Structure 1
């Protein structure tokens, strides 16, 4: 679906929104844009820009994506910019190729929109994912307001915003590695960061970590220069972190009120699993999903499969086609036959609908921030299995700060055993899990209240819209 410049005339403003091309970045930014259009009652138009390969996946995953969007949201694409045949799942290569190709493509798009609008609907604002915040320089050349959107938590922003100070103090080396024995502590109310908790951490791959760290350095600059820094969180769950971030505006949790929309998915969502959940008793099903990027060895996936089976409980497992280190999962012999009627395995789901289903009892999660927010607003306990980047620190909040989850611990070889998995599942369903469930209900109400009229996130959203309409 190409852009239709000049349509929807009469709008009070025109936003170009540019996400980083990953599922956990595209999805929340599109939710934000839907809310902008809905809350402005159509007074603001949005052109939502993905690279071609991502745009194609979104459209292919939902044949109704284009038709189901609001008339004032246009999905469009720009060239990928990478070398032919380059793996779009290679985040490091993608970061580098985007820096060289995206500015000119976005500039050309804005120029075409402005040229065809006859000054009635020129681009007035560019919202860019913090990972590619440098694209705001392109928007500024056209006089557009510069806004950063940060999908992770407010707490995850703090180390990024502190990079210049941490380098000056000698706590970080040039690769973003904490010096031996160092821990970042900025407030007694905010959980400290150890090396593997940092947003750019990739402990088994120093080259990848260096690229992530360099990206974080650029993100700090973009965040400092932007007028607004929008985050998918609410003040009540991270008050101290929000207070430490200049210009931050918590507007989450970002949710889709229209359940039929699925145009942010990179994979077709399995609808049958919702009917399957309907057949299960309330609070009986373990939902297992590791997001869009995590991959595991076959040994680890065997342990997970057997651990779920040994629990004797119903489970819904999202096993992407590339979950086994880029390949489909090969299950233990006889596993699929043994779990019939008890377990269901799908390639992708509408996660918000699954988590809010009465049969869902807990969320075995990688603790990506979008998943964390969706789990909190659903009021379910967590079983935590972080993969990389900010997920370890999110786990600390889930388990230690909010008391709504349990860690699934790795052994000395880095493997989560079937016995550990079964033990933690049993603990969630036992009387010991009552505290987790009670805390989860409290967090659910806290998050829900924030986005209701008069809530903190609701008011912050109004504040942002008022600025856009000036």
Structure 2
């Protein structure tokens, strides 16, 4: 496990535990940056896997934010999309123990508050055992939150009737299948180019296109989407991570493509 940087010890320590995916880590980073810039007397430690630490460790951040890592107990980000439900089960069943061990390390300041991603219910168990206040950050839409709760409650009620209680991993695997393809993954880019372009467009005139990181779309399918955008004549912002020049040429000039990657 990697320790946070050696910074002066502020009076209040917040530990943030994001779900290990772009669409979850980026909002948590933004929240932590906003908190750190507003209050210089708090230390914020963001806990990620070793792989994610390598991806974000060089990012610019306020001096009162540190990173700490747990081992790579979940599949690599590079193969995240091969089995999205298996990845979710691994998050639910394998991350709690190393996170707890990290909090017990002598070099880490005992946390006064924990912020966890809203899809990791085990964080409440960790915080409860240590009598640490906890808040959940929900990074998806309100409709997804409502559906998540509805499916989870339905599964819990069903398991109670059969006297068989599903694990957190099973709840994630089953409940998420009913809505996971409807969620929008928002990514942050340190450049403001796409925001400047959006500001120049008429209100409510831009179509947002995002296929998420874990969907496998063939080149032929991507070309069909590009042709459809071109023929529709609508303004669009398309998050695409490959063949961007080719797709931009096919789509025309009524929209922009953006790689959605953190600098």
TM-score w.r.t. length of structure 2: 0.69
Matched, 1:71 2:33: no
Give the CA deviation at 1:19.
0.9
> What SS does structure 2 have at the residue aligned with 1:348?
coil
Following superposition, the deviation at residue 48 of structure 1 comes to 0.5
Q: 1:148 to 1:270 in 2, by over 3 A?
A: closer
What is the aligned partner in structure 1 of residue 249 from structure 2? 336
Q: Is the 8 A contact 2:114 2:132 kept in 1?
A: yes
| Cα offsets for 1:348-384 (capped at 9, x unmatched) | 367xxxxxxxxxxxxxxxxxxxxxxxxxxxxxxxxxx
Contact 2:241 2:259 in 1 (8 A): yes
Structure 1 alignment gaps of length 5 or more:
175-207, 217-263, 322-327, 351-470
Q: Which residue of the partner structure matches residue 99 of structure 2?
A: 106
Structure number with larger C-alpha Rg? 1
Instruction: Tell me what 2:167 maps to.
Output: none
C-alpha separation between the residues in 2 aligned to 1:101 and 1:94? Answer: 10
Distance 1:163 1:286, change over 3 A: closer
Residues 1:116 and 2:96 are matched in the alignment: no
CA offset at residue 270 of structure 1?
A: 8.6
Q: What's 1:213 paired with?
A: 175
Instruction: Quote the offset at 1:52 in angstroms.
Output: 2.0
Which among 274, 289, 314 is matched to residue 209 of structure 2?
289
Shift of the 309–83 alpha-carbon distance from structure 1 to 2, 3 Å rule, reads closer
Match of 2:84 in 1: 91
Which residue pairs with 1:140 in the alignment? 128
Report the equivalent of 1:46: 44
Paired residues of 2:116 and 2:135 also in contact (CA < 8 A)? yes
Q: Residues 398-455 of structure 1: CA distance to partner in whole angstroms, max 9, x if unpaired? A: xxxxxxxxxxxxxxxxxxxxxxxxxxxxxxxxxxxxxxxxxxxxxxxxxxxxxxxxxx
Residues 1:127 and 2:115 are matched in the alignment: yes
Aligned equivalents of 2:56, 2:48: Cα separation in 1: 9
Q: Would you say 1:28 and 2:19 are equivalent positions? A: no
Q: What SS does the aligned partner of 2:72 have? A: coil
Deviations 1:200-238 (A, max 9, x none): xxxxxxxx997142899xxxxxxxxxxxxxxxxxxxxxx
Higher mean C-alpha deviation, range 283-292 or range 161-170:
161-170
**TM-score, structure 1 as length reference:** 0.42
- Correspondence for 1:81 among 73, 94, 107: 73
Cα deviation for residue 109 of structure 1 reads 1.5
Alignment correspondent of 1:231: none
Aligned partner of 2:184 in structure 1 is none
- More relative contact order, 1 or 2 (CA 8 Å, 6+ apart): 2
Cα contact 2:14–2:112 (8 A) shared by 1: yes
Contact 1:131 1:215 (8 Å CA) reproduced:
no
Q: Distance in 2 between matches of 1:34 and 1:214?
A: 29
CA contact (8 A) 2:239 2:260 kept: yes
Question: 2:227–2:250: 8 Å Cα contact kept in structure 1?
Answer: no
Find the aligned partners of 2:76 and 2:220 in 1 and give their Cα distance: 33
**Alignment CA distance shift 1:85-1:305 (3 Å):** closer
Instruction: Give, in angstroms, the shift of residue 17 of structure 1.
Output: 0.8
Does the CA contact (< 8 Å) of 2:2 and 2:70 recur in 1? no
What root-mean-square deviation, in Å, do the aligned CA atoms of Structure 1 and Structure 2 show? 4.3
Matched residues, number: 242
Alignment of structure 1 residues 24-423 onto 2, 5 Å: 24-39=23-38, 41-59=39-57, 63=58, 65=59, 68-82=60-74, 87-89=79-81, 90-112=83-105, 115-116=106-107, 121-163=109-151, 166=154, 211-213=173-175, 269=189, 271=191, 274=193, 282-283=200-201, 286=206, 288-290=208-210, 291-311=212-232, 317-321=238-242, 336=249, 339=252, 344-348=256-260
Change (3 A) 1:330 1:134: same
Secondary structure at 1:131 match in 2: coil
Rounded Cα–Cα distance in structure 1 between residues aligned with 2:126 and 2:74 = 20
CA–CA distance in structure 1, aligned partners of residues 91 and 125 of structure 2? 14
Instruction: Provide the C-alpha distance between the structure 1 equivalents of 2:172 and 2:199, rounded to a whole number of angstroms.
Output: 48
* Cα distance change of structure 1 residues 10 and 348 upon mapping to structure 2, 3 Å threshold: closer
Structure 1: distance between partners of 2:251 and 2:121: 49
- CA distance in 2 between counterparts of 1:314 and 1:131 reads 33
